[in-house]
Amino acid sequence: MQHKPLSEQVIVITGASSGIGLATARMAARRGARLVLAARSGDVLARVAHDIQAAGGRAIHVTADVGRREDVRAIADKAIAAFGGFDTWVNVAGLTVYGPLREITYEDHERLIQTNLWGTIHGSLTAAEHLRKRGGAVINVGSVASDLAFPFQGLYATSKHAVKGFTDTLRMELIAEGAPVSVTLVKPASIDTPLPQRARNYMDREPSLPPPIYRPEEVANAILHTAVHPQRDIFVGGGGKLFVMGKEFAPGAYDELAPAIIALQKRAEPPREPEGALHTPRNAGQVRGDPPIYVMRTSAYTRATLHPLATALGFVGIVAAAAFTMGRNTRERRRDEERLAAARMQ
């Protein structure tokens, strides 16, 4: 399955006011897509849409809480009213909570699941209903936590595991009915976004992300690639893929890393804003956070995943060139040995 070029698409992006969602919106606008931007921070979205329009793009914004089905329905209705429909729907909206499971309140548990899981469910089902008629893509942003547990981010990992199960089921049902809709799960590793700063925090330290950390533009690029060239799922960040492979190979050993994983999620300084944006939107408008460690500029693994044929051809080319060089060197060495032997006989 292949979809329209980005320059001919209308793309809906939830969680578009910060982090991966904002990076994806800006990149999609530069590539010519028309955009429907949704998040709780309407004032931020208005500025983002204005900037896109000032640069010659087309974008509208919708203030919405994806945990409310009626809000998600309103996103679709406004996309249809403004552009006649949409071609790709990207579910990015999500937050996290740092702290041990036993200390987190029921209200915080419920709010996180409402946003991360139910927001994805509402968006996916609303999008699929529309796209059944015209074809297109549903792209859900999961996480490496879709395959790994993270102590002190237990509910986040729970929600992302559930997003994976839901996404896989939706894909299979659409295949069974022959619907022209692709469903992709994007699984980023740690990404340099404001997620830790906007998290609800029960710890005695400011939260952080475990290394390695990658740029949000790597995720945005993967999302937009699959909007045209669908793939089943994509890891963004080779480090995340390695962790998942290690956990599958030795799950008990991974469990024993719990103290180290907890320590890696704590910075040296005390909490800045422990309430975060879980219940009330705040601190939106930024693509990147302020991690205390180095951020990887690119992921060679992810780029290879997005372009497997080109990567394979490149590898074959390297092998062929190496074989040709080795063969030429062998032939030249053999000729030298023959000339040397002939000279000795004279």
Dump strand ranges (E) for the chain. 10-14, 34-39, 58-63, 88-91, 97-98, 136-141, 181-188, 190-191, 200-201, 213-214, 233-236, 295-296
DSSP category for residue 266: B
State mean pLDDT over 224-248: 96
Residue 151 clears pLDDT 70, i.e. is over it: yes
**Residue tagged active-site, from 156, 202, 214, 294:** 156
Query: For 55-66, how does the pLDDT look when each residue is reduced to its tens digit (9 = 90+)?
Result: 999 999 999 999
Max CA pair span of the chain: 97
Q: Which band of pLDDT confidence, cut at 50, 70 and 90, is reported for residue 297?
A: confident
pLDDT at residue 202, rounded to an integer: 98
Give the residue with greater pLDDT, 68 vs 313.
68
pLDDT at residue 1, rounded to an integer: 77
Q: What percent of the chain has pLDDT over 70?
A: 89
pLDDT at residue 125, rounded to an integer: 98
Q: What is the spatial distance between Cα 183 and Cα 173, in angstroms, rounded to a whole number?
A: 11
3-state secondary structure (DSSP) of residue 197: coil
Q: Which CATH number fits domain 6-299: 3.40.50.720, 3.40.50.150, 3.30.70.260, 3.40.50.10440?
A: 3.40.50.720
Show Cβ contacts of residue 42 under 8 Å, excluding neighbours closer than 6 positions: 61, 63
pLDDT at residue 32, rounded to an integer: 98
Give the β-pairing of 213-214 and 190-191: parallel
Q: Which two tokens stand for residue 162?
A: 């559930």
pLDDT at residue 216, rounded to an integer: 97
3-state secondary structure (DSSP) of residue 119: helix
Query: For 170-215, how does the pLDDT look when each residue is reduced to its tens digit (9 = 90+)?
Result: 999 999 999 999 999 999 999 999 999 999 999 999 999 999 999 9
Amino acid identity, position 89? W
pLDDT at residue 337, rounded to an integer: 58
Is residue 147 within 8 Å of residue 247, measured between CB atoms?
yes
Q: Which band of pLDDT confidence, cut at 50, 70 and 90, is reported for residue 307?
A: confident
Residue 27 clears pLDDT 60, i.e. is over it: yes
Residue 322 clears pLDDT 50, i.e. is over it: no
Q: What is the spatial distance between Cα 185 and Cα 169, in angstroms, rounded to a whole number?
A: 12
pLDDT at residue 310, rounded to an integer: 47
State mean pLDDT over 87-95: 98
Q: Which two tokens stand for residue 130?
A: 């529309």
User: Is 156 annotated as catalytic?
Assistant: yes
Provide the b/e sequence for 30-55 (b: ≥16 CB within 10 Å). ebebbbbbbbbbbebbeebbeebeee
Among 99, 134, 140, 97, residue whose Cα is nearest residue 117: 140
Write down the mean pLDDT value for the chain.
92
State mean pLDDT over 300-319: 63
Q: Which band of pLDDT confidence, cut at 50, 70 and 90, is reported for residue 318?
A: very low
pLDDT at residue 116, rounded to an integer: 98
pLDDT at residue 298, rounded to an integer: 87
Is residue 145 within 8 Å of residue 156, measured between CB atoms?
yes
Q: What is the 3-state secondary structure (H, E, C) of 139-180?
A: EEECCHHHCCCCCCCHHHHHHHHHHHHHHHHHHHHHHHHCCC
